[in-house]
Amino acid sequence: MASKIKKNSKVKIISGDEKGKEGNVIIVDLKRSLVKVEGINLVTRHYKAKQANQNSGIKVFENFIHISNVALISAA
């Protein structure tokens, strides 16, 4: 299915916990109908060092949202 939402497009979240927020699209996955929006749906992961020279810590990053939960504001 073709989508008008492309990378760097400005979108608005229309459902979910982040409803009403806006951001730019980072990644579009059309096979799974998912998008990753900058600053939206942040996930925290705790990492443990597996070797002595690796760092452990907490990393925060954006997770995917279903494409039906975003509305296009302006195209890239």
Would you say 13 and 70 are in contact if contact means Cβ atoms under 8 Å apart?
A: yes
Query: Is the whole-model pTM more than 0.85?
Result: no
Give the mean pLDDT per block of 10 residues along the chain (76 residues).
84 94 95 95 94 92 95 87
Residue type, 18: E
Query: What domains appear along the chain, each with residue ranges and CATH number?
Result: 10-74 (2.30.30.30)
pLDDT at 2: 63
pLDDT at 1: 52
pLDDT at 3: 78
